Amino acid sequence: MKPNSKLLRNLVNGNYMSGGMLLEVVLAIAIFAFGMLALVQLQGNVTRSSSDANTRTVATNIAEELVEQIRGYEQVPAIADNGKWEYMELAGTALNGTVQRGGMDYAVTATIKDFWRDEANDTFISNDATNPPTVPAGLSEAYASFKLLQIDVSWNTGQDFYVDDENTAVLGDNTITVYEIIPNSPPILGAKIAANLNEPAGTPTVNYTPGLNPDIVALTLDNQKLKEATTPIPDVIRDGELTETYFEVVSYNTANAFTRREEFLTVGCECILNPANGGSEFGLRPTVWNGVEYTEGDPVTDKNVGVSANNQQSPFCSVCCRDHHDGGSGENDGSFEDERLVYDPWNYSPSDKGTDHAHYSKSNKGVISVAEDGDTYLEACRLVRKDGFFRVAQDFNQRGFFGVIEDYMDNVAEVAEYSDYVTTAAEDFYENGQSDLPLPGDTGMPQFTSPVDGLKYDYLPSSQSDVTMSGPYTSLPTPLNVQDQQLRSRGIYLDFMTEEVEDKIATCLPLDADGNPPTGCQIPQFTSPLEIYPFFEVQLTKLANWIEDPVYEPVDVTNEPVASNNTHSRGRAILKKTGMGATKTDFGIHRGNVGIAATDPIRINDPQAALTETDYLHIDTVDSGVPTVAGVTITGGIRSGVGGVRAADVALSFNEAMCGKTPTGYKCIVPNVAVDPTLTISNYYKKNQNLYACSDQLVELNNVFGTNSSTTFTLSGSISSPADIVIQDTACAALP
């Protein structure tokens, strides 16, 4: 029965009535009352839900703080009554107490379990050790290989919550649990400079096994220290749509003992834009290198935050979406120092300080601007491990990129030559105004001898002519009659230094006659600024996009979609036809986070000077001359209008034509004698969705949906370039 609004108004206005009319009024009031009671209950549930979410956040923060304290132990051996966290003393129940936050008590329990490595059986053995721990029989290690830390934080344990002045309700216990592994490696390895070359920070020496050339190259920092980066390994998640890419940058001494370790993780994410909301939620400024260790950025309460768009992507997307925003409180005085405190130092002019960077999403038209709160947008973040947790760091800043042939850096002399180039280029970059790397020839660029004219040329092909074959050069088949070889690409990354780092270095130079820094130098064992400069070089072969020129066709260079643990093939040159003369392969990679995360671009008009750094390598198929193929050239772009689906991962196959991928799409040569030429694209997929490959020029022959999705187009008829192809989630229609 619907309440009669007229009757209610009469009742409120004092126009009393009697009989049946009064009964209607009573019934109306009863219905209204029941509705209000339901609304009150709903409001109470909403309030409790919001309060519970906030409480869980506080409990998680308490657990994280404790993890950082325990994981940051100061030494391994146990020394009685010295007041320090010590690895050997971390056992059993490490902590059992109460923490008060916001008027609420949180019960905290931290328990630790030891694990030893059994090398003979290739297993880990646990022992519920008390304090001090005992080593299981048959194991010779003096201390556990690692410890498993479990932190339980509970609230509402018996506390009374007042409903009104007289009544109370006791809520049940609520608990969150956080686990963390504590290795027996000293905490100095968490990207801090070692205080002592032999025993960093008073802990036992931890050995490091250097990588093998030419995949992992050791750069010489001085006569005692070296530095190298492990090969980035992408791990594909969410049905192949997004990735996490992990690698380490390790510094060590000539005795192969760690002096510094940096762990990087790069993620591609979909986020939801949220507004700044008066400080109830906040993000952090970038975690930056201060010359001795990474320091976490300050909270910023007056800038936008974001949240992960779904729980199917990387768990690190939560911190990526939350923190990767610029603007908010800062110096905002137009200084370069303030600019270096944002995530992308190239993204701002002085007038832009205090504003968030723009965000974009995908559509059938490409990458489009996102302006409204609640919109989904694309993001890519570089994270660095700080005290056990990955925090968002300054964006990657690639300043050098080039390729080498298979056998370069197989010998000590070539490694030394390459190391000299990288370290000299880094010194020039940091000491001469933080500009681009010097031009080839200015800093001892590595050289090779051309088999064409016998002359030496710089190992930077983009500075050479691609016609005279004066750039890096290889031949297929090889002198040993091998039909293929692995080409490689490498990148040099240089972070922007803060004034704090510059000040530390300034106080440590010049060294005295004995090679010691002046009094007041805050950097342990300082002998060279190369130890402090935030730079590294890394192999990018499996992340770069490789494109052979389809006009010549004698060589196929692999460019498979990114797969977990680097199981895909890229940059492998395979001979298809002999005697066709010289050809070349181009390769490129985005200079920022997108390149390492292996995603499509996340913004329009990227502010970096070059969105994608490109280079090339020459390949000779033993015969002279440059072959030509008569036919029609068809080119077009390939883009994705579906979030999480990467156009870069689309695979090509063809029939009666010669096709290859370009940095932004494809290129096909259709010979004049071709019969029914076709182009098939595949490897685009999103769970529970049918995706369509559409073109404004090419005629679709068939479309396969699902995990083996593909679309075949005919290359016959009147086709004008560009013949673009778009991956979209709606049926094909005329493209805008």
For 113-127, the pLDDT digits (tens) are: 888 766 566 677 776
Enclosing H/E stretch for 5 = helix 5-12
pLDDT at 198 over 60: no
Highest mean pLDDT among 311-315, 353-357, 452-456: 311-315
Which whole number is the average pLDDT over 228-244? 80
Confirm if 692 and 671 have CB atoms less than 8 A apart.
no
Would you give the distance in Å from CA 184 to the centre of its chain? 27
The Cα 461–Cα 257 span in angstroms is 37
Residues contacting 630, CB < 8 A, separation 6+: 671, 672
Torsion region of 598: left, alpha or beta (phi above 0 gives left; psi -120 to 50 gives alpha): left
Range of weakest confidence among 26-40, 95-109, 305-319, 391-405: 26-40
269 exposure class (CB count in 10 Å sphere: 0-12, 13-18, 19+): buried
Least confident of 223-237, 350-364, 398-412: 350-364
The predicted pLDDT at position 226 comes to: 92
Which residues neighbour 164 within 8 Å (Cβ) at sequence distance 6 or greater? none
What's the rounded Cα separation, in Å, for the pair 231 and 214?
A: 11
What is the pLDDT, as a whole number, of residue 190?
A: 63
Q: Identify the burial level of 168 via C-beta atoms within 10 angstroms of its C-beta, where 0-12 means exposed, 13-18 middle and 19 or more buried.
A: exposed
pLDDT at 462: 40
- What does the alpha-carbon distance between residue 330 and residue 223 come to, in Å, rounded to a whole number? 41
Point out the least confidently predicted range of 115-129, 632-646, 678-692.
115-129
pLDDT digits (tens, 9 = 90+) for 129-148: 444 556 666 555 566 778 88
Which of 484, 620, 649 has the alpha carbon at shortest distance from 559? Answer: 649
Q: CA 201 to CA 721: how far, in whole Å?
A: 63
Looking at residue 130, its amino acid is T
Q: What is the predicted pLDDT for the residue at 572?
A: 93
Q: Secondary structure of the chain: what % helix, strand, coil (to 5)? A: 20, 35, 50
pLDDT of residue 169: 52
Higher pLDDT, 588 or 204: 588
Confidence label for 40 from pLDDT (cuts 50, 70 and 90): low
Q: Cα dihedral angle (61, 390, 377, 56), rounded to 10 degrees?
A: -20
The pLDDT of residue 219 is above 90: yes
**Which amino acid is residue 298, in one-letter code?**
D
Could you tell me which of 228, 192, 186, 189 has the C-alpha nearest to residue 211? 228
- When pLDDT is averaged across residues 690-714 and rounded to a whole number, the result is 90
β-pairing, 570-575 with 555-559?
A: antiparallel
Confidence of residue 342 (pLDDT cuts 50, 70, 90): low
Over 90: is that where the pLDDT of 535 sits?
yes
Give the mean pLDDT of 599-626. 64
